A and B are shown apart, each in its own frame.
Chain A
Amino acid sequence: MFRYIAKRILFAALTILGVVTIVFILQRTTGDPIATLLPPDVPLEEQAKLRTALGLDQPIHVQYGKFLAGLVRGDLGYSYRQGAPALGLVLERVPSTFKLASAGMLVAMAIGMPAGVLAAVYRGTVGDRIVMSLALVGQAMPVYWTGILLILVFSVRLRWLPAISNGGFVSMIMPALAVGAYSAARIARMTRSSMLEVLRMDYVRTARSKGLRNSAVITEHALRNALIPIVTVLGMEFGSLMGGSVIVESVFAWPGVGRLAVNAIMGRDYPVVQAVVVVVSAIFVLINLGVDLTYGLLDPRISIANTTRR
């Protein structure tokens, strides 16, 4: 298994390098960072001075070489706008993004999985149609709109919850609901289809014919075997959320990686954009690795050790 993990990490490093190289080149085609750093009426010679100070006057291959040398040392450069180490700026926002992503996933799982199971078990009934309709609405509603709606109802109208994040638990409820509502819809649909497939299996019929209670059949036999595609979706959703839920972070003034990334892109703060890409790619790869390892826990027929020996 360790060989497998080592191999995955090596491939992950190459993937991250590839992604960051593409980003390095692409963002330099979008224009000049000086245009967004200085007031528009600054004389051209002053712009040139800053360009030199930031090393932007050097050929792109020299800039890339310096970037790679820094990457090896764990130094991703200084933010043009914030004057602080880019990697540190990203890492200090990871905990709050993790909090929002985790809370959103808890909401999504708490709503999406039971809803999907119920829809599968009561397939074709009114309940199934209601759940699936709600899932469709959940996926179709823009997160921005959901967020503003939550604020208008629970903050402005009812005065139950704060409109703006203050880092506490209460102020996390609405952002988590906004993030979770979208993911819940996806999880519900995936759970339903996966469960329907499993419920048709012989071993479920056997379990039922043995006289097992319906609830036991569903939770211990059907759901467990239906979990693999669900876990895959959960991993993907969590990975995406760890990349920063830009819209929710903006609507609820949540200080996360997504907002940092958007501000850096808009301000052409190259070092910060590169640092975000490195960190988010690494997190995504780790989550995928975690998901792959979970398959073995869920289904004993999947052996990572055997896979690597082949």
Chain B
Amino acid sequence: MYLHKFADKMQKSTMMLVLACVLSMCLCPMTNTVLGASGRAGASEVVVAQGADAVTLDPQKQSDTDTGNVCNSIYDPLLLRDQDMSIKPALATDWKRTSTTEWVLNLRQDVKFHNGEPFNADAVKFTFDRVKDPATRALIAPLFSTILKCEVVGPYTVRFVTDGLDPVFLGRLTNLLIVPPKYIKEKGDDYFARHPVGTGPYLFVQWVRDDRVVVEANDQYFRGRPAVDRIVWKAVPEMATRIAGLQTGEIDIVQSIPSDQIGALKTSRSVKVVTSPCAQIQMLNFNTFVAPADNKYFRLAVAHAIDPRPIVDGLLGGYASVLSIPIADVIPNAPKSVKRLPYDPAKAKEYLAKAGYPSGLSVEMNCQNGKYPMDKEIAQILAQQLSQVGIKVTLMPLEFGQFQTQMRARKIAPLYTTGGNNVLLDTDPQFNAFYGSNGALSTYSNNALDDLIDMGRTSTETKDRVAVYEKAFALLRDDAGGIGIIQYTLISASSTKVSWAPRPDGRIRAYDIGLRK
């Protein structure tokens, strides 16, 4: 009863109070922000929209491209990949291999972290040791698994010791972003991950989780002040919204646009569409540990039954290219001379008969679903092509994590399509992972191929290694161990006020973004 009387007296005013509270909550700006330096009026600003927010601003605890792009605007690596994917000096001025297992690098002497802390050999050693320390839980640590230690030779000279000859050593160092030792020791890991300090072209300003990271030009940057005053890394999960944002002028750069969604952008006067070949591919692999994929003739039948051209021309609207071998041609040491087995349905039927299936067979096939552009649709087209030679495919798309788990356990279907990328832009890690007998994702085993993989690791000379990989990919093709399908073309769009070009590695380097005059 008391409650009722109270309600009668208080109801209207309480309701008004609640309403006012809710409205004030709605009207106030979001408060979950992390603030750094203050903004400046009238400054040039470029908004880069990505599918996901940075997961952390500690560069050693991230492994995804979106976070990597943000971190690379704040930090510098020792070496960097240029637009043509060649390796260039960054914080290291020059480098030399002094023995099979040792590399000596000289460092820049005119660089300071954003907080004034000096950059030197101690910072490099601290960074490397932090990556290797299990307590850091550094997600990039596996990229440095072949490097044993880093030693300080002089104030601006370091020596890296590798576990045997490592032909990918320089590529690995392009992923080592240098962090400030004193700052991290003083502030701790958690604080550092939210208030990053690097030597990079942009200074950290603000991070609103799942919304945006704002960075501002570093006037003291050793490669010269960036062209843009302020960059906003905006997290916009929906591609349709990213495209709408480009059209309305709220966004300046969008990358990885699906080929079926660029129609509206092509007609827009304020947006230009730019493309680049990239390291992302689709391939058709076999689980050779189960029947019928353990049969070479069955695999050869599949290889002759599929034709990637309708995928390139029809499904992807020309924004892809047919792959000869299961590796992208933008990888500097990927062989270019090995050709794919020709599309020949009659030959496919012959091989099928040789395999013991003269009247065809039914087989299961897995594919990814949404991890790579049109991955499921590509698999559907391949399944349809296979059915025309008598291989009736039951297609079973899997969520990415489940797909990876099945593949690693070698419990995946006899046939499967999978996307592939190449973080280190070198043939060895990708080739070994998918086709080496001990590869993390391999469902194929061939001793002769393993020997060639080992041989490819005995030299750092690109020419020598390409010659080895030519033999390796030819062997893989002739044994039908894996089939290249398509190499994606990276489709990006930017506002006409921005001067920027996409890179084959799919990264967005903030320092490369300019403004049109």
Contact = CB atoms under 8 A, between A and B. Distances in A.
A36 B401 contact: yes
Contacts of B251: 164
A83 B189 contact: yes
A63 to B, nearest CB: 16
A266 B64 CA distance: 14
Interface string A274-310: 0000000000000000000000111010011000000
B238 interface: yes
Interface in B274-321: none
B241 interface: yes
B30 interface: yes
A259 B237 contact: yes
A93 B32 CA distance: 7
Nearest to A35: B404
A35 B401 contact: yes
B56 to A, nearest CB: 5
Interface in B375-412: 399-402, 404-405, 408
A260 B142 contact: no
B115 interface: no
6 contacts: A39-B63, A151-B240, A163-B250, A165-B211, A300-B1, A304-B3
Contact of B236 (A33, A99, A253): A253
B247 interface: yes
B134 interface: yes
B237 A159 contact: no
B400 A36 contact: yes
A259 B210 contact: yes
A32 B405 CA distance: 6
B55 A46 contact: no
A155 interface: yes
A23 interface: no
Given A95-B31, A169-B26, A263-B52, A35 B241 contact: no
B428 to A, nearest CB: 9
A297 B11 contact: yes
Contacts of A155: 244, 248
Interface in B454-503: none
Interface of A: 1, 30-33, 35-47, 49-50, 52-54, 79, 81-85, 89, 92-93, 95-96, 98-99, 102-103, 106, 148, 151-152, 155-156, 159, 162-165, 167-169, 172, 176, 250-253, 255-256, 259-260, 263, 266-268, 296-298, 300, 303-304
B209 A255 contact: yes
A259 B58 CA distance: 21
Contacts of B41: none
B448 interface: no
A270 to B, nearest CB: 12
B3 A297 contact: yes
A1 B30 CA distance: 36
Contacts of B11: 297
- Chain A to chain B: the 7 pairs with minimum beta-carbon distance, closest first: A41-B433, A255-B210, A35-B404, A300-B4, A46-B142, A31-B405, A167-B30
Interface stretch (B79-87, B150-158, B343-351, B436-444): B436-444
B430 interface: yes
Interface of B: 1, 3-4, 7, 11, 22-23, 25-27, 29-32, 49, 52-53, 55-56, 58, 61, 63, 134-135, 137, 139, 141-143, 145, 189-190, 193-194, 208-211, 234-238, 240-241, 244-245, 247-248, 250-251, 399-402, 404-405, 408, 420-421, 423, 429-430, 432-434, 438-441
Contacts of A176: 26
Contacts of A82: 55-56
Contacts of A250: 237-238
Contacts of B248: 155-156, 159, 162-163
B434 to A, nearest CB: 8
B240 A148 contact: yes
A99 B26 contact: yes
A36 B400 CA distance: 8
Given A40-B404, A81-B55, A164-B251, A96 B139 contact: no
Contacts of A84: 56, 190, 193-194
Contacts, number: 192
A206 B398 CA distance: 64
B3 to A, nearest CB: 5
A253 B141 contact: no
Contacts of B439: 41
Nearest to B139: A37
Contacts of B440: 40-44, 47
Nearest to A255: B210
Contacts of A255: 30, 32, 53, 208-211, 235
Contacts of B63: 37-39
A251 to B, nearest CB: 5
A304 to B, nearest CB: 8
Nearest to A159: B248
Contact of A83 (B61, B142, B402): B61
Contacts of A151: 240-241, 244
A46 B30 contact: no
A205 B244 CA distance: 55
A279 to B, nearest CB: 14
B423 A253 contact: no
A31 B401 CA distance: 7
B401 A30 contact: yes
A89 B58 contact: no
B423 to A, nearest CB: 5
Nearest to B409: A32
Contacts of A296: 3-4, 7
Contacts of B236: 164, 253
B250 A164 contact: yes
Nearest to A171: B250
Given A43-B440, A46-B142, A50-B141, A92 B400 contact: no
- Residue among A83, A250, A263 with max Cβ neighbours from chain B (10 Å): A83
A304 B7 CA distance: 14
A59 to B, nearest CB: 19
B480 to A, nearest CB: 21
A172 B26 contact: yes
A103 B24 CA distance: 11
A52 B135 CA distance: 11
A35 to B, nearest CB: 4
B244 A50 contact: no
Contacts of B26: 99, 102-103, 106, 169, 172, 176
A169 B209 CA distance: 18
Contacts of A54: 137
A52 B245 CA distance: 43
